[in-house]
A and B are shown apart, each in its own frame.
Chain A
Amino acid sequence: MKDTDIKRLLYTHLLCIFSIILSIFIPSLFLENFSILETHLTWLCICSVCVTAVNLVLYLVVKPNASSRRSSLSYKVTRFLKCCIYFLMSCFSFHIIFVLYGAPLIELVLETFLFAVTLSTFTTVPCLCLLGPNIKAWLRVFSRNGVTSVWENSLQITTISSFVGTWLGAFPIPLDWERPWQVWPISCTLGATFGYVAGLVISPLWIYWNRKQLTYKNN
């Protein structure tokens, strides 16, 4: 049971990584002068759309929490709408947190907001897919000893590594190397992406490594 779960987890994660790689290389076939650094905003949009799409598709195909009972269409619609609202709220709250961390308030608003959107796709979208719009469940997953499945464990790892990547991504900004990627928010978005990818790679491996020690209270 667990081993098959881990295998599925690995494949889904590989797909997610693949989607990010695609978002880097595919647009250059259609768009002229596309590069991550120069047309950063375009890349941010494409990347977040790609990752969201792949996440949704994977969620519908894999159905990690299969125990969810059948429900009416209206329930699904409200759930979907709630998810959208949560996503938007997370974007705005990330934006606010960035500003509180020192991002310029008025200049570069679009950049900051798109960065918030990207970070939301890396963190909030998987949470919404897996846990649904349920704050209590989220808090449970992100507190110590609160995870109940392989999926939640991997979700915890990827989300935390995305945050840590973003956090570390801010470090090069004050350095005086004068590189194009040191400009706000490029280093942070790159940090977030690297963190996300690292989380995707690490989490199946880590879970596989510790599969003996890991016990989840529901299975």
Chain B
Amino acid sequence: MRLGSGTFAACCVVVEVLGVVLFLRGFFPAPVRSFSGTKHQAEPPAPEPSAGSTSNWTKLPPPLFSKVVIMLIDALRDDFVFGSKGVKFMPYTTYLVEKGASHSFVAEAKPPTVTMPRIKALMTGSLPGFIDVVRNLNSPALLEDNVIAQAKAAGKRIIFYGDETWMKLFPKHFVEYDGTTSYFVSDYTEVDENVTRHLDKALKRGDWDVLILHYLGLDHIGHVSGPSSPLIGRKLSEMDSILMKIHTSLLSEERETLLPNLLVLCGDHGMSETGSHGASSMEEVNTPLILISSAFERKPGDVRRPEHVQQTDLAATLAIGLGLPIPKNSVGSLLFPAIEGKPMREQLRFLHLNTVQLAKLLQETVPSYKKEPGFEQFKISERLHGNWIRLYLEENNSEVLFNLGTKVRKQYLDALKTLSLSLSRQVAQYDVYSMVVGTIVVLEVLTLLLLSIPQALSNKAELEVPLLSPVFSLLFYLTFLVLSAIHVIVCTSAESSCYFCSLSWLTAGGVMMLISALLCAVVSALTKVFVDGKLLSKNAAHSNAQWSELDLLILLGTVGHVLSLGASSFIEEEHQTWYFLVSTLCLALCHDIYRNCLLGDDCELQRSLHMEECFGSATPALQDKNAGSAVLELNRGCKGPPSLDALRGFEKWMVLASPWVILICCRLLRSLNQTGVQWAHRPDLGLWLASSDHKTALSVLAALSLVVIFTLVQRRCSLASKVAMALGLLGVYCYRAAIGNVLFPWQQDNKDISKGIIEARFVYVFVLGILFTGTKDLLKSQVIAADFTVKTVGLWEIYSGLVLLAALLSRPHNLPVLVLSLLIQTLMAKFVWKPLRHDAAEITVMHYWFGQAFFYFQGNSNNIATVDISAGFVGLDAYVEIPAMFLTAFATYAEPVLWASHLVSFLSSEASSGSALSHACFCYALIRSFPVSAYIILVTSLRYHLFIWSVFSPKLLYEGMHLLITAAVCVFFTAMDQTNTKS
């Protein structure tokens, strides 16, 4: 079957996406462990161990506290309470921590430090997988065993006020609730007032057992203006007064009841120095956890330092405190100080319950659990405990009993610690089989792409894909048989869950057929390469001699970038790699241009000299070929200069200056958004513009940017889309003004802030209109098949529609990024690519590089925290999953997509290049699948690396997403190419 290289590449990328999806499912296994969940409620609690005589205490111990208030403050960092800020702004809390009846801890949150996984961790005690971040947006109900579900089952009345996420996680669990939405980040007073306004009533009423308050304001302040903002102090004082109110109310109520009450103050995650969160720096991970209750009364002079504990420990403690069974998947250990005041027998009973639960979990997750040190410790302590109970029931000397009890307690605490540690280590379980299958698919596709380079990049841009013959070959059936056998063996013997095995037989069979067909294709391509070896070696020598410095740079840059992905720092600072490569590319172009301009006259002379010298040399056979190539190369070199000479004075100057202009633009953009990790805290222009003091500057800049965008984009549009573009850009400004980012000149003060839904929808109408006009033009060009300009205009209109959408969705201070990318595209197209006549492959790679650099210029990084989720809510009343996800993805990858679509419209506007588009598509597919495949192998080999969750996994998600977008781009390319060949 003959395929155009563009179609071939698009198919390859689509298959590769399948492979990557399979790999991702294996790499981020859904946490399915112990799914018995809340159904097995009837399971009796572990009875007290005893040696000999049976214990009479088999029921669950009664609750320790009658009422529990959990006050969760989003993004409460540990030094906001325990540090100087706490002393200054939270005097009451500081008093409680230092002198009051309380226990304080520094609870370590595990990455990802994002709200939903943290809530899950607090309530289930388990460690949610990394994939929860991705599900953070549409948080489905929590099915795992958790404290809230247990409390509800036990008939406790729970009231909740605060972040909506809770209501999605625990639907129908609360007798009363009021949710606040978390996505209007610029609002930090109302979200909290919406919580506090219910507080007085609820406290007075007292008909509840658990009250949960989740305050979002602090987090919003952090996102908007960072942890050193003066707003933080005000917010902390507000929180302090709320804490005091709750505490005094609880104390006054306590007199009437027998049991004490418990007040928990905690944070879900911290806040980095830039005010964001998601990663694993100390500031993001350490949160305060304070348990306040009159049961923790202390003698004067009893200094309690905040201990370091895990965030997951809270679930077990709450369960014990409320007299509930500990959630099954909890890996936390009881916070011992909370039960310290109880009699020895109860203490031991609580510790025993916790240890039994952890040991059971260990038994379920680790096949060789008996060898684990924690399990052995558990067995020893259980035996000791039994002995102690016997002594206790025989009523021995209390002194001996106490000493022995202390020993047992110590043993239990050690066992708890070891168990908890080994369990949290067990959480990262990879589904290796699915990963291997995915990797095989991806690698086969890459090999196929690499093997077909010479054919695909030939002038015809067509290649023979042996598809039918392998399907009937013996190799295909043999491979298929072997793979099925392996599948059966693996799936029947596997103990852990496996995604690929859980697929239906038909799907799995399809994937295996795909693998074997690809294998056959690779083998036949390989044989072809060897058969044509002679011809190819000739070609290779030929093409080697033709390589210019630019090609060398492109090759080295690509390989170097892929190699750099092996180091975590280079992933964190990947933007530096791209900025560096793009700058080097500009200098190389500069070198090219200057040589062509200044040495153009010498070209002729050089060629004659060269010929002479070559033919006059001693070894004619060898030199002949070289001479041929040299002449070719010189011809190629000389192709440029005449066109450069033909340029008028102004244009020549522009050609000479454009690399420098581009370099300066890149340098400016670099200082707009600092990303990465090491230098992310440096002040940048973006933050300066985003702060509320510089609103006027931002407004002027935004207006200017929109005007420049219009002038740059409109020149090749049809009249209708010109008008639509102008109105759309006006709408963008109105939208920004409506949500309070920028100001109109006639309105100096902030009036009320709306969501700007009407304005945003107004812009959407124009985006769709422009895209529609573009598509109509394309279809017309396909049908009429005569007018070439119609197609160019159509492509440009699609491009400008995307520009308009990007302008709407990007952060207001990122409009200059859009402007400069358009400017660079114009400069490059007009003054570099056209006069220097680069071939399609080079142009594609340059587009890709610039797209990558601009991806980071936008402020993105390889960290989930930098994804701008607010883009998903532009013009939407409420969260609607599919549009929100599409908008967020587009806002994140806007620049790579814009560069790719510019590539399409640029290449198809160059009438001379017939096969350019399919070459470009092939190159684009190749240059994207190379890093993806390499990265998949790297991640697999580094899966036990320390930074696998914080650095490598987010990057893997980014790579997968980017590949998906590349697949879309390649399909678009191919569609354009098809219309091209038809016309």
Question: Footprint of B on A, CB under 8 Å?
Answer: 97, 99-102, 105, 135-136, 139-140, 142-143, 145-146, 167, 170, 173-176, 215, 217
A136 touches B598 (CB 8 A): yes
B610 contacts A by Cβ under 8 Å: yes
Chain B nearest CB: distance from A62 CB in Å? 27
Q: What CA separation (Å) do A170 and B568 show in the bound complex? A: 17
B664 contacts A by Cβ under 8 Å: yes
B569 touches A175 (CB 8 A): yes
B583 touches A140 (CB 8 A): no
Minimum CB distance partner of B592 in chain A? A143
**Which of A100, A139, A174, A215 interacts with B598 by CB under 8 Å?**
A139
Residues of A within 8 A of B762 (CB): none
B678 contacts A by Cβ under 8 Å: yes
Residues of A within 8 A of B671 (CB): 105
A167 touches B583 (CB 8 A): no
Residues of B within 8 A of A145 (CB): 606, 610, 630
**Which of B572, B583, B602, B606 interacts with A102 by CB under 8 Å?**
B583
Chain A nearest CB: distance from B580 CB in Å? 7
Secondary structure type dominating chain B contacts = helix
B678 touches A176 (CB 8 A): yes
Q: What CA separation (Å) do A33 and B570 show in the bound complex? A: 34
Residues of B within 8 A of A215 (CB): 613, 617
A100 touches B664 (CB 8 A): yes
**Which of A102, A174, A175 interacts with B670 by CB under 8 Å?**
A102
Chain A nearest CB: distance from B645 CB in Å? 16
Chain A nearest CB: distance from B520 CB in Å? 41
B751 contacts A by Cβ under 8 Å: no
Q: What CA separation (Å) do A59 and B335 show in the bound complex? A: 79
Q: What CA separation (Å) do A142 and B602 show in the bound complex? A: 14
> Given A136-B598, A175-B567, A101 and B576 touching (CB < 8 A)?
no
Chain A nearest CB: distance from B680 CB in Å? 12
B667 touches A102 (CB 8 A): yes
With A101-B580, A174-B577 given, name 5 new contacts (CB 8 A): A102-B579, A102-B580, A142-B591, A174-B576, A174-B676
Interface set, chain B 487-502, CB cutoff 8 A to A:
none
Residues of B within 8 A of A142 (CB): 591
B382 contacts A by Cβ under 8 Å: no
Which of B573, B594, B667 lies at the interface centre, i.e. has the most chain A CB atoms within 10 A of its CB? Answer: B667
Which of B580, B583, B584 lies at the interface centre, i.e. has the most chain A CB atoms within 10 A of its CB? Answer: B580
> Given A139-B598, A143-B599, A174-B569, A102 and B576 touching (CB < 8 A)?
yes
Minimum CB distance partner of B564 in chain A? A171
Residues of B within 8 A of A135 (CB): 598
Residues of A within 8 A of B595 (CB): 139, 143
Residues of B within 8 A of A97 (CB): 587
B570 touches A140 (CB 8 A): no
Q: What CA separation (Å) do A143 and B664 show in the bound complex? A: 25
Minimum CB distance partner of B637 in chain A? A144
Residues of A within 8 A of B599 (CB): 136, 139-140, 143
Residues of A within 8 A of B576 (CB): 102, 173-174
Minimum CB distance partner of B583 in chain A? A101
Q: What CA separation (Å) do A145 and B595 show in the bound complex? A: 13
Q: What CA separation (Å) do A97 and B591 show in the bound complex? A: 14
Q: What CA separation (Å) do A146 and B607 show in the bound complex? A: 11
Minimum CB distance partner of A136 in chain B? B598
> Can you give 12 contacting A-B residue pairs, CB < 8 Å?
A97-B587, A101-B579, A101-B580, A102-B583, A139-B598, A140-B599, A143-B595, A143-B599, A170-B580, A173-B576, A174-B576, A176-B568
Chain A nearest CB: distance from B627 CB in Å? 12
Minimum CB distance partner of B609 in chain A? A217
B457 contacts A by Cβ under 8 Å: no
> Given A175-B567, A175-B570, A100 and B580 touching (CB < 8 A)?
no
B663 contacts A by Cβ under 8 Å: yes
Interface set, chain B 607-660, CB cutoff 8 A to A:
609-610, 613, 617, 630
A174 touches B602 (CB 8 A): no
Chain B nearest CB: distance from A145 CB in Å? 7
Chain A nearest CB: distance from B530 CB in Å? 31
Residues of B within 8 A of A170 (CB): 580
Secondary structure type dominating chain A contacts = loop
Chain B nearest CB: distance from A178 CB in Å? 10
Question: Footprint of A on B, CB under 8 Å?
Answer: 567-570, 572-573, 576-577, 579-580, 583-584, 587, 591, 594-595, 598-599, 602, 606, 609-610, 613, 617, 630, 663-664, 666-667, 670-671, 676, 678
Q: What CA separation (Å) do A101 and B666 show in the bound complex? A: 9
> Given A140-B599, A174-B678, A215-B613, A167 and B666 touching (CB < 8 A)?
no
Minimum CB distance partner of A174 in chain B? B573
Q: What CA separation (Å) do A105 and B667 show in the bound complex? A: 10
Q: What CA separation (Å) do A97 and B667 show in the bound complex? A: 10
Residues of A within 8 A of B583 (CB): 100-102
Minimum CB distance partner of B633 in chain A? A144
Residues of A within 8 A of B678 (CB): 174, 176
Chain A nearest CB: distance from B784 CB in Å? 47
Minimum CB distance partner of B594 in chain A? A139
Minimum CB distance partner of B573 in chain A? A174
Q: What CA separation (Å) do A167 and B667 show in the bound complex? A: 17
Q: Which 8 pairs, one residue from A and one from B, show the smallest C-beta to C-beta distance?
A: A174-B573, A100-B663, A176-B569, A175-B569, A101-B583, A100-B667, A143-B595, A174-B576
> Given A102-B667, A140-B602, A143-B595, A174 and B584 touching (CB < 8 A)?
no
Chain A nearest CB: distance from B545 CB in Å? 11
Minimum CB distance partner of A212 in chain B? B618
Residues of B within 8 A of A99 (CB): 667
Chain B nearest CB: distance from A89 CB in Å? 15
Q: What CA separation (Å) do A170 and B610 show in the bound complex? A: 38
Chain B nearest CB: distance from A132 CB in Å? 17
Residues of A within 8 A of B663 (CB): 100
Residues of A within 8 A of B670 (CB): 102
Minimum CB distance partner of A167 in chain B? B584
Chain A nearest CB: distance from B861 CB in Å? 12
Minimum CB distance partner of B676 in chain A? A174
Minimum CB distance partner of A101 in chain B? B583
Chain A nearest CB: distance from B440 CB in Å? 33
Residues of B within 8 A of A167 (CB): 584
Q: What CA separation (Å) do A211 and B606 show in the bound complex? A: 21
Chain B nearest CB: distance from A134 CB in Å? 12
Chain A nearest CB: distance from B853 CB in Å? 12
Residues of B within 8 A of A139 (CB): 594-595, 598-599
Q: What CA separation (Å) do A102 and B664 show in the bound complex? A: 10
Q: What CA separation (Å) do A190 and B813 show in the bound complex? A: 38
Residues of A within 8 A of B630 (CB): 145
Residues of B within 8 A of A102 (CB): 576, 579-580, 583, 667, 670
Residues of A within 8 A of B598 (CB): 135-136, 139
Q: What CA separation (Å) do A97 and B588 show in the bound complex? A: 13
Residues of A within 8 A of B569 (CB): 174-176
Residues of B within 8 A of A175 (CB): 567, 569-570
Q: What CA separation (Å) do A176 and B570 show in the bound complex? A: 9
Q: What CA separation (Å) do A173 and B572 show in the bound complex? A: 13
Q: What CA separation (Å) do A215 and B615 show in the bound complex? A: 13
Residues of B within 8 A of A140 (CB): 599, 602
Chain B nearest CB: distance from A100 CB in Å? 4
> Given A140-B602, A143-B599, A176-B678, A217 and B613 touching (CB < 8 A)?
yes
Residues of A within 8 A of B584 (CB): 167
Residues of A within 8 A of B613 (CB): 215, 217
Chain B nearest CB: distance from A189 CB in Å? 17
Residues of B within 8 A of A100 (CB): 583, 663-664, 666-667
Q: What CA separation (Å) do A101 and B602 show in the bound complex? A: 32
Minimum CB distance partner of A176 in chain B? B569
Minimum CB distance partner of B587 in chain A? A97
Residues of A within 8 A of B577 (CB): 174
Residues of A within 8 A of B572 (CB): 174, 176
Chain A nearest CB: distance from B587 CB in Å? 7
Residues of B within 8 A of A217 (CB): 609, 613
Chain A nearest CB: distance from B817 CB in Å? 16
Q: What CA separation (Å) do A173 and B602 show in the bound complex? A: 41
